[in-house]
Chain A
Amino acid sequence: MPLLLLGIVTIAFALSNLTKGDPLISIIGERQMDNPEIVAAAKARWGLDRPLPERYLRYVGNLIQGDMGISLRTKQPVARDLMDRLPATLELVIAAMVVGVGGGILLGVVAARYRNRAADHGARFVALLGSSLPVFWSGLLLLFVFSVVLGWLPGPGRLDARLTPPPGVTGFYTVDALLAGDFTTFRLALTHLILPACVLGWAVMGIISRLVRSSMLDVLAQDYILAARAKGASGPRVLVNHALRNAMIPTLTIIGFSFAYLITGAVLTETIFSWPGIGSYTVDAARSLDYPAIMGVTIVGGSAFLLTNLVTDLAYALVDPRVKLG
């Protein structure tokens, strides 16, 4: 795993240094680019006058100590920027996973139970809609309907602008508000979370529900399902205790994958909902050719992938007794 991480760092470093855009433009501005003295000074200031291999080794060396360099745009350490924004993204992604996994399993089980009947087609429609609608469209649509027209849910942002965030312990507004015993803030943070979480969760709900459906159909044809019914088990018991537990094994992979996908894929949703997370940070960084920030985001995204893979493997051992860790 450390090797894989080094690979990610290397590729990210190579990509950002071999691309055509010149970070100097974003540092000193286009007008100053003709002034050789200023260009040389800026290069020396940011270490861009050193040969590439040296810059690479320095970057990796610093990275090991948790230093991702200084953002060209915010002029703050990238690591600190990321730490400020990671909890917002994680809170959103976890909420989206609850929606996506919960909804996906429910839709999948219903679809398998009522195979080729109306409920199956309905579930397929909802799933297909979720995975084919782009989030910038479904996001705007849901915002318009639930926030503007119906007024049931608040608009973008993590909280109303007037409110001060709860004292940061975890960085999750909902959890922090509960820890502080501030139920008004908790309610607000939660209602702000609902729409973006649904938009993001809906996108992965489709693939999860399709997978749950097909593995449920596989499992329902197995002898042990017939055997469970022969024991006198009721329909719901057979479905949940016997079928779903087995159907979850192949589904785990895609759930793990979805989580990593959402962390990096939250970009559009965060932009639409003015969510101050990694996603919107990425957009800003990319716009201003903020290389250290881009690299930081890439590395965080890559690590998230590796980490979820690891967690998925561990989860297998929990769900499938035949898998032994060792």
Chain B
Amino acid sequence: MTAPLLEVRGLEVAFPSPAGRLAALRGVDFHVAAGEVLGLVGESGSGKSLTMLSIMGLLAPNVEVSGSVRLDGEELLGRTEAAMRRYRGRRIAMIFQDPMTALNPVIPIGDQIVEAIRIHQPGLSRRSARERAVELLSQVAIPDPRARAGQYPFEFSGGMRQRAMIAMALANDPELLIADEPTTALDVTIQAQVIEVMERLRRDRGIGLILITHDLGLVAGVADRVAIMYAGRVVEQAATAEVFYRPRHPYTRRLLASLPRFDDDVDRLATIDGVPPSPARRPPGCAFAPRCLDAVDRCAQDDPLPRRIGASAVACHRAEELPA
């Protein structure tokens, strides 16, 4: 196995609140190698986006972050804002869920890409940066990129906006790309285009990609490995095939069972009763125990930590005994 490009260990994030410290992330571990796609899956509020923001150092200063985030062996946590700025957009770039709101509405697309380039390469002339921006737009298959560069986000279609967003993220040849639900806001046909572009990047440039999503179908098709998050922790992590064919955590199983299937004619889709607990009212034991059909007494008292089982890392007391 190659040395990981990004290694996240024991990442904890806590917010101060009138009711005391709220632990939003409770020891998140995962890693991504160069050229690898990690699918980070979980419901809203499970801590996916929070994980990404803490990697980028974009959380508010009053949020407590601890643990370790290493990029190519260099520790990122605890660095100053000025030091983090040299990583953001240059070595780690980010793509957002809704390209309509993530692009500045009053600045032409080309100028926004030029800005991304010149922040990290101040020596580059406006003209060369402009050329590079046009080239980037054509790499993500924007037709007539020179003319398009002068247009504003509202003049782009949804899929073009997301591809422009990707072009902007690629401006400085980052090693790691974090895509936060990059296709959720797009039509299905447009989703395929965007995925195509990201696949090509991984293949041609060896970029490591973290794909944050709640779309299991997308993960199955694109990701090499999958990390399932629940209530601020990674509850199961393994190669994609392993997770889909041999899910070990009850939560993963229920998630997979809730997927609609073509070969199965059911009237209702399976659901998971209840909602994930908020950080303020998390039970003392396993956070999933109240919704888990396989929970035993121990689960209500004892919080399971992730441990290795076969090729997976699973945070469940009963992972071995339950039938895979």
Contact = CB atoms under 8 A, between A and B. Distances in A.
Interface of A: 222-224, 226-235, 237, 241-242, 245-246, 249, 319-322
**Chain A binding site: helix, strand, loop or mixed by DSSP?**
helix
How many chain B residues sit at the interface, stated as a range, is 20 to 34
A41 to B, nearest CB: 66
B8 interface: no
B94 A321 contact: no
A227 B102 contact: yes
Nearest to B151: A321
Contacts, number: 76
A232 to B, nearest CB: 4
- Chain B contact residues: over half helix, strand or loop, or mixed? mixed
A280 B202 CA distance: 73
7 tightest A-B CB contacts, nearest first = A232-B89, A231-B89, A232-B88, A223-B101, A230-B94, A223-B102, A227-B102
B101 A232 contact: no
Given A232-B120, A246-B106, A319-B106, A227 B96 contact: yes
27 contacts: A224-B102, A224-B103, A224-B104, A224-B105, A227-B104, A228-B104, A229-B58, A230-B56, A231-B88, A231-B93, A232-B86, A232-B88, A232-B120, A234-B119, A235-B81, A242-B107, A245-B104, A246-B104, A246-B106, A319-B106, A320-B106, A321-B105, A321-B108, A321-B152, A322-B105, A322-B152, A322-B154
B107 A245 contact: yes
Contacts of B104: 224, 227-228, 242, 245-246
Interface of B: 56, 58, 81, 85-90, 93-94, 96-98, 101-108, 115-116, 119-120, 152, 154, 165, 168, 171
A231 B58 contact: no
Nearest to A245: B106
Given A224-B104, A227-B96, A242-B104, A233 B154 contact: no
Contacts of A321: 105-106, 108, 152, 154
A243 to B, nearest CB: 9
Contacts of B101: 222-224
Contacts of B81: 235
A21 B143 CA distance: 73
A241 B97 CA distance: 22
Given A223-B98, A223-B101, A322-B154, A230 B89 contact: yes
Given A241-B115, A242-B107, 9 more contacts: A223-B101, A224-B103, A226-B58, A230-B58, A231-B88, A232-B86, A234-B85, A246-B104, A320-B105
B119 A226 contact: no
